[in-house]
Structure 1
Amino acid sequence: MKKIIIMLGIIAVSVSSCSDYIEEESRSYVPADATYKTASGFQLLVNTNYAWLKGIYGGNPWLFEAGTDMYAEGRGPEPAGLSQYTLLIPSSDNVADLYNPCYQLIQAVNKTIHFSTITEQTSILNAQVGEARFLRAQAYFLLVQTYGGVPVVNDYISTPILSFTRNSAEEVYTQIIGDLDFALANVGTAAYSSAGKVNKRAVNDLLAKVYLTRGYETFGKADDFTKAASYADAAIAGQTLAIAFDQLFKPGNDLNAETIFSVQYDKASTSTDPTKLGNNQFYYFSSYLGGAETGAPLRSYNL
């Protein structure tokens, strides 16, 4: 009997120990939702929106220039569907290169807006949301110019959705202008070269482009061109062009006085995988200096 009692005691201790182990609380792990509800955590969330621009502007350039008379095919062939409009279907090479990363940015902004309603309320909260909505407008503007009408998705989605309703191009432009109007009313005025954030000048610049582009559509408004000129004047703000062209895009001079907004690639952010995280668009537009046929290795570099 005594042995049975001892065994039961050992089992009870073992079960208790297992229970304590299973319920162990890790104090070093903080859920993302809890982080974003703090002012510092929400700022990190806002910053991630800028990072998504690298996926839009850092990869293949075909949807920005193929099939136009502004560029000629070089040493490497362009995708036939986009450059020659032959067999151009949704599954053609590179057609989705812009579609997917734009919606990744849009969903990141939707997440930011969602948490802005439950995070710690600060004096800069509207400015932060304004920055994010500018970036969402930029994504929608690229989409509507490239694909026409696309789904307008402004909800934060945390579970898979397999299909969306396609909105008209006119509705997409309305969405873009709504985002930019909010951004213009709330973002700051600090120079982009020093603050590295969306400012009113950048918003005015994009609004000018949006109204100018919509003005040529069948659903354009009578005052679109007038508004485009007004916003362009606000973006220019009387500034003259004083930097020599050969210095304007020189490496190391990318944040010059004439830069309104740009996508930044610093070494630290690309060091873990520079061939994928860097910007490789530049080597499509430079002079071909020879490769294996000249005895030199054929190489490309990512900045």
Structure 2
Amino acid sequence: MTLSTTMTMYKSLKIGSLSLALTALLATGCQNVLEQEFRSELGPEFFATAGGLEGGVTASYSIARFFWGSEGFTYTENAGTDESILGASDGNTTFFQYTNILPSEGSIGSIWNNSYQAINNLNGVLKFGPSANIDAARRTTLLAEAKFLRGFYYYLLVRNFGDVPLSLNFIDVPTTSASRAPIADVYAAIIKDLTEASQELPNTSNQSKGRATKPAALHLLAKVYLQRGWSAAAQPTDFQMAATTARTLIDNQATYNVGLEQDFADVFREGNEYGKESLFVIDRNTDPSYAESQFNNSPQIANGNKENRANFFWVSLYTNALNVNAGIPGAPNNTVAVMDRDARNGRPFRRFRPTNYTLNTAFADRTTDSRYFKTFQSAWIFNRTTPVTTSRGTLVAGRDTAIWMPGVEVTEAQRRAFKGVIISPSQYTADLHPTMTKYTAVNRLTVNESSYRPIILFRLADTYLLAAEAYIKDNKPAEAAAMINAVRQRAAYKTTNTPAQNAAAATALAITPAQATLDFLLTERTRELYAEYARWQDLVRTKTLASRLATYNPTPGFREYHLLRPIPQSQIDLTTSGPKFPQNPGY
């Protein structure tokens, strides 16, 4: 099977391979990843060298930076669901309201083009890499990483587009014909790659959690079985295999050196991205020379499309909390901003804000379940150098709470007694709302700089919930409840509780097998995984997007055909030989 525009960067082996080598150099924090002198011509034999094998795999990891943390991909994975609605600072309603999603949409084209670029890199690695003159164990690991990554990118494609071109061979000659393989064939190829990767990868990585390991492969393989089990290509044992694969990881945590963090707050604590719960991350680098950031046109080696801006997208406009109490009798009004922008509180892009479902249904329990206050910022400490005086006195920097979002309605007396500004749920707006803090990045070069934090893509709590979903579909509610309870009981933990109080809270949060339904699980996934680039695919996979939108976030523009993304128009236009490349229905 051949591809057309998906592989256009490989029209020439000279250009393609040299581009790959340079990409590999950029993608690492070590200047010596490729020590050979770059030549003007690099052919397929490049992959058969030690540097080519290492560089080909490294470059393919780097391509994932086009997605997680970028603005367009963040829309495609998080918008248009029950969890989030549009914030104030961006008029881009396309993915939130399903208006005018076109085949020319750049963020959709990015998924297609960059995934196929990575796949062809990996096809070259897998074709020529076995003959590389490199330590045998290292060669085995790199080839297993290549299989993991090829499965990873094909999974990204099939869950977004359905039938897609399937090529497992390195393409070095341009072609103008292309066709789509059935999803059954694509899933079979993914499962083969991931199964082999899970057998050949090491239990842990001595480099970083940005490299594939057996736990990462098992997690992704379980998810692919689950995804196929819901699809038209379902096999009778898919849900059983999803559960079995997930349990292989869950039941052998000591072997793989993984485990749930005791405190949910530690999962996303800055600096703990390689913690024991993390299985796989999209790596970043604190060295600005290799972080692929374009802020202020620096560094020279830059690509703004690979910036991690996740630290901006959910941040409220805390710098403009003015006239909050206007019209409330007896409540002190503020006509002066009580906060300045700083790195700790973030750059207020306001692309996303939580829905009422997220705040009031998923996170309704804020007493026993600790996750609401560990997911959302509810207090802002006064940070202005210019003094601000309210009716209750002058705010003291570093000590007084300037803005408080208690999450419940308050009385006028409570407002009058508070030194700063109280914003209750009835006052939330597209500008002012709780800030989601999972991607907060305090340690940045400047206040407006993008994040250098790795993004956690797979983590063990999700493995438990994937196993629960598989058990629900396999009609094993007791096993499903046990998986869900492992996550919920961790959610009960608070550092301010005594051990007895934590134990009592964990017992209170446990559910019965009768409660282990798909609807409960989807709401549990919001509590645990809000904003983790999973919701759109979760609802599409479980065929609940339409019903949950109707219930929690009515979206008149949504149609059933939106369950697949449009094939990029460039792919259709440049397929000029053979049958016309088919578009997905509705577009």
Please tell me the TM-score bracket, short chain as reference.
0.7 to 0.9
Instruction: Provide the C-alpha distance between the structure 1 equivalents of 2:223 and 2:91, rounded to a whole number of angstroms.
Output: 27
1:290 matches 2:438: no
Counterpart contact for 2:112–2:157, Cα < 8 Å: yes
- AA partner of residue 279 (structure 1): N
SS across alignment from 1:203: helix
SS across alignment from 2:278: coil
For the structure 1 residues 121 and 92, does the alpha-carbon distance in structure 2 shift closer, same or farther, using more than 3 Å as the test?
A: closer
**Equivalent position to 2:42, from 14, 20, 32:** 32
SS across alignment from 2:232: coil
- For residues 212-231 of structure 1, the aligned pairs below 5 Å read 212-231=226-245
1:54 matches 2:68: no
Query: Which residue in 2 is equivalent to 1:280?
Result: 309
Deviation at 1:226, TM superposition (A): 0.8
For the structure 1 residues 243 and 86, does the alpha-carbon distance in structure 2 shift closer, same or farther, using more than 3 Å as the test?
A: same
- AA partner of residue 267 (structure 2): L
Instruction: Provide the C-alpha distance between the structure 2 equivalents of 1:167 and 1:76, rounded to a whole number of angstroms.
Output: 40
For the structure 1 residues 222 and 37, does the alpha-carbon distance in structure 2 shift closer, same or farther, using more than 3 Å as the test?
A: closer
Report which stretch shifted further, 284-293 or 220-229: 284-293
Report which stretch shifted further, 288-297 or 203-212: 288-297
Deviation at 1:135, TM superposition (A): 0.9
Instruction: Provide the C-alpha distance between the structure 2 equivalents of 1:149 and 1:110, rounded to a whole number of angstroms.
Output: 20
Instruction: Provide the C-alpha distance between the structure 1 equivalents of 2:235 and 2:68, rounded to a whole number of angstroms.
Output: 30
Query: Which residue in 2 is equivalent to 1:233?
Result: 247
- AA partner of residue 69 (structure 2): G
Query: Which residue in 2 is equivalent to 1:261?
Result: 280
Deviation at 1:99, TM superposition (A): 1.8
Query: Which residue in 2 is equivalent to 1:137?
Result: 151
Number of aligned residues? 277
> What does the per-residue CA deviation read over 1:166-223, in whole Å, with 9 as the maximum and x for residues that have no partner?
1122221111101111212211112477575211111110011011111111221111
1:189 matches 2:208: no
Deviation at 1:47, TM superposition (A): 1.8
SS across alignment from 1:261: strand
- Give ranges in structure 2 of 5+ residues lacking alignment: 1-35, 254-258, 292-298, 323-336, 342-346, 349-447, 452-587
For the structure 1 residues 288 and 229, does the alpha-carbon distance in structure 2 shift closer, same or farther, using more than 3 Å as the test?
A: farther
Instruction: Provide the C-alpha distance between the structure 1 equivalents of 2:37 and 2:252, rounded to a whole number of angstroms.
Output: 53
Instruction: Provide the C-alpha distance between the structure 2 equivalents of 1:40 and 1:193, rounded to a whole number of angstroms.
Output: 17
SS across alignment from 2:450: coil
Instruction: Provide the C-alpha distance between the structure 2 equivalents of 1:46 and 1:144, rounded to a whole number of angstroms.
Output: 21
Counterpart contact for 1:66–1:78, Cα < 8 Å: no
Report which stretch shifted further, 168-177 or 39-48: 39-48
- For residues 56-95 of structure 1, the aligned pairs below 5 Å read 56-60=67-71, 61-77=74-90, 79-92=92-105, 94-95=107-108
For the structure 1 residues 64 and 196, does the alpha-carbon distance in structure 2 shift closer, same or farther, using more than 3 Å as the test?
A: closer
Query: Which residue in 1 is equivalent to 2:174?
Result: 160
Query: Which residue in 2 is equivalent to 1:128?
Result: 142
Instruction: Provide the C-alpha distance between the structure 2 equivalents of 1:261 and 1:118, rounded to a whole number of angstroms.
Output: 28
Counterpart contact for 1:201–1:234, Cα < 8 Å: no
Counterpart contact for 1:62–1:79, Cα < 8 Å: no
For the structure 1 residues 157 and 76, does the alpha-carbon distance in structure 2 shift closer, same or farther, using more than 3 Å as the test?
A: farther
Deviation at 1:286, TM superposition (A): 3.1
Query: Which residue in 2 is equivalent to 1:302?
Result: 450
Query: Which residue in 2 is equivalent to 1:23?
Result: none
SS across alignment from 1:106: helix
Counterpart contact for 2:163–2:183, Cα < 8 Å: yes
Counterpart contact for 1:37–1:115, Cα < 8 Å: yes
- Give ranges in structure 1 of 5+ residues lacking alignment: 1-26
Counterpart contact for 1:274–1:302, Cα < 8 Å: no
TM norm structure 2: 0.43
TM norm structure 1: 0.80
Instruction: Provide the C-alpha distance between the structure 2 equivalents of 1:195 and 1:89, rounded to a whole number of angstroms.
Output: 36
- AA partner of residue 122 (structure 2): V
For the structure 1 residues 155 and 245, does the alpha-carbon distance in structure 2 shift closer, same or farther, using more than 3 Å as the test?
A: same
For the structure 1 residues 58 and 157, does the alpha-carbon distance in structure 2 shift closer, same or farther, using more than 3 Å as the test?
A: farther
Counterpart contact for 2:119–2:150, Cα < 8 Å: yes
Deviation at 1:157, TM superposition (A): 1.9
For the structure 1 residues 195 and 58, does the alpha-carbon distance in structure 2 shift closer, same or farther, using more than 3 Å as the test?
A: closer
Instruction: Provide the C-alpha distance between the structure 2 equivalents of 1:29 and 1:192, rounded to a whole number of angstroms.
Output: 28
For the structure 1 residues 161 and 221, does the alpha-carbon distance in structure 2 shift closer, same or farther, using more than 3 Å as the test?
A: same
Instruction: Provide the C-alpha distance between the structure 2 equivalents of 1:254 and 1:186, rounded to a whole number of angstroms.
Output: 25
- AA partner of residue 93 (structure 2): A
Instruction: Provide the C-alpha distance between the structure 2 equivalents of 1:224 and 1:287, rounded to a whole number of angstroms.
Output: 42
For the structure 1 residues 215 and 36, does the alpha-carbon distance in structure 2 shift closer, same or farther, using more than 3 Å as the test?
A: closer
Larger RCO (alpha carbons 8 Å, 6+ apart):
2
